[in-house]
Structure 1
Amino acid sequence: MVVLTALLVGALGFVQFQSTLSRETRQDLDSVINAVEQALLVTPERVVLSPDRLPRLAELSSSRFRVIRAEQVFLEIGGRYPAEAEGWFKTERLLEHGFVLQAALETRSQSEALRAFWHTELLALPISLLLALVAAYLLFGYLMRPVRHLTEATHAIAQQRFPKPIPVPPGQDELSNLAESFNRMAQAVEGFLERERNFSRYASHELRTPLAALRAQIEALEQGLLTPQESLPAIKRSLERLERLLAALTALTHSPRKDPEPVEVGLTLRLVVQNLSAEEQRRITLEGELGARVLGYEELLQQALSNLVSNALKFSQGRVEVEVRQGAVVQIHIRDRGPGVPEEELPRLGSPFLRIQPRIDGMGLGLALVRHIASVMGGRLEFCNRPGGGLEATLSLPRLEVSHA
């Protein structure tokens, strides 16, 4: 295909060059025949050339003219008029009194130009073909590179190996859109599989204890070691723990399916406080820029704040301060007056099943769920010990920008 294209382009170039030479030759001949006609004096008996009226044209040196009437030659200009047509471009013009002015322009220079052009084309054709093949190879490789990346990434995903995002070609064509869509799909699939693996890992780790306790209670009941009145409260507590654990695991390993919405932080905090007991409500202090708004999920934010506040109330007997600050991001600070956390344990806070004080009831999933929600909403969760004692948790979330029309 490339060879045929190059041959076609060369042939078209030759034809166009030949057409251009013919047109210029015709124009040159018309120009000189007009000049000669103006220099002729025509009478009924003869035709006379006035040399002083003949302009100096370069084309005159390669031209021949003659004036005839009834096959009789009356005048020849520039030499003997050629009888053959080959190598000459001829035309004629009717004069007065039946005379005819014939003109012939030598085309040797035009023929030489055509031959030189054709020789150049023959010489340049192999080079052009080679360059065209190299360019086609490079272009094909450039165009197929995104497809190769897609193929390799697809094979990797089929083996549950998730490569880095494939490079997106520049521009807004179908290949770049396909690459962007594939990267989003691969990220979603990787997140889904990771959540499923986490759920299996967390469930196998944590369900073992309440299930073992439940089995022990049932076996003791079957063997008559305990009465139903003695076993039922323990069985009920184990089932309630299993329900809480499954709810927490489900929230920890799933992401929201709806689009984020504007959420008012102060309103969400008030809902969290309303769900506390009267005694716990008296220990909570809300302050700062409570009108701050974030873009996220109200249910998830309420869950995260509820976990942080409950955690602070659980590990502290004094007041719990909740302050909202608004800057480049919205920061929600929860400060308690408890014993704090050893400095070496601070980086681990928020890891699933981590329990700093095993004596206090809990599953070690509350802060892990908060960290997961912060990640889903594009924020982060940080901890630090307060200088005067106690722990401070800071939940930072992207601020909702308000556009002014």
Structure 2
Amino acid sequence: MKIIPSLKLYFLVMMLITGVATISIMSVVSFKYFVYGIDIAIGDSMRSIANIENVSEGNPVGINDFVVASRWQDLPPIIQEKLDQNSLEDNQLLKALDGKPPFSQPKAAYFAIRLDVDGQERYISSMLTSESRPKFEDSGPPPFINLLLIGLTVMALFTLAPYFILRKIATPVEKLMLWAKQLNKKQLSLPAPDFHYSELNSLAKIVQSSLQSVQTILKREKRFLGYASHELRTPIAVTRTNTELLRKMISKGISSEKQLVVLDRIERASITMTDLTETLLWLNRQSDKSIPVKSISLGLMTQQLLEQLTYLLNGKNVDVTIETDISIHSLPEALCQIVITNLIRNALQHTQEGIITIQQSKSRLVINNQNMSDDKHDEELGFGLGLELTARLVQHYGWQYENVATANGHHVEINFA
């Protein structure tokens, strides 16, 4: 089983290792300096009595724990036994210990130094034993044990301190993790809570911003699918209907001229699907790239779109009149096709019995419908994906658009200028 590393445990272990290493090194250094300080104190004491008088060969002088002699041979035998004369260097303290410091108190310590006093050699020695010095008595643990106990105590405190610090930090981190885990669409619109630390608050804003971007993309993709399924219904229906019609015409041997007319409808429907898809992708991505314009006849386009949508009048008693001209305009063909298709489709869908008039003059298109039937639909003109998409396109291009409810229908007017 793979062990998942824990940031909390890693931090705690690293702090503990760092603390133990630091305290151990500092304890050793402290002990070294303690011993070094004793050596300096004894050496200074020896130097201060080196110029004592009445010192001659075979006549050493003792002062407290110190012996001052003019020859090495005049020093106490135990000093000569424990220390090596050949190791002596001028003005350098020579030392020997009985025992294993720092793990235990030394039983005895032997010191000697050689000095030059007014051109004469002086040998000063000292011997400290448990009998001569109370500090060597077995009255307590050695200094190193004390240092070790102090070090262990500091290490314990050093371990507890990161634990409480980590606990104080881990609480808002866990709060952030729980908040991020429970984020939903509703909470994304609310301000992020305060997680006590600025870094965590920044991280929360980044998480929220990222999820909001994802939510926006999903919403945009969902809207694209809705638009695509809505707008492609008509060209798909035209393609299927005319494909079946063409198959029947071929089987019955109808003239090729009439077959070409049907084939032309299928080709126009396929081009329409391509243009619609590209336009919807452009609108969905909110691209700054403009859609190319073409020279088109709004009148001819309106007539063709009405012809494609007449299947919506099957089983209805609706009289449709259309008036168009042959004026040519430079406009984005696919966008105009989407807008006109949706306006005509809504008029045909929501008129069960009555009159529909379509008038196109230059860049102006007017559609009126009067529904004389009592069969009311829940949807009204101006509702649904089709007119939502129409409103977005009209707003994007700044076309003049008006949709007004009348007594039995709607008056829709758009100017593509």
Report the TM-score when normalising by structure 2.
0.43
Report the TM-score when normalising by structure 1.
0.44
